[in-house]
Amino acid sequence: MDDIVTAVVDENFDVHQRLALMQGWQKEYFREDEQLQFHLRQLDGSKPQDVQRAHQIGQLRKILILEQVREPLEVVQ
């Protein structure tokens, strides 16, 4: 199992760097989601195999939303 990598929020935390990281993650999300939407539009809803693919694409899109933040914040006191 992978260890969870966190970004420690303390007096040295760089907000600008964090925002830049988050912007990169969001751009990647939009790029990948656009590809999934393209594949989704190509499917035929009358074919059972395509319906299954559409469901799988829907699940992948939900996972992508969660992957926009790859390093949760950890507050240190």
Domain extents for the chain?
7-75
Give the predicted TM-score (pTM) of the model. Answer: 0.79
Helices (H), strands (E): how many in the chain? 2, 2
- Asked if the model's pLDDT at residue 2 lies above 70, the reply is no
Residue 3 is predicted with a pLDDT of 80
Q: Could you report the per-residue pLDDT of 32-53, keeping only the tens digit for each?
A: 999 999 999 999 999 999 999 9
C-alpha torsion sign, points 62, 68, 71, 74: negative
Q: Could you report the per-residue pLDDT of 52-73, keeping only the tens digit for each?
A: 999 999 999 999 998 888 899 9
For range 13-30, the mean pLDDT:
95
Q: Output DSSP code: residue 3.
A: P
Q: Is 1 helix (H, G, I), strand (E, B) or coil?
A: coil
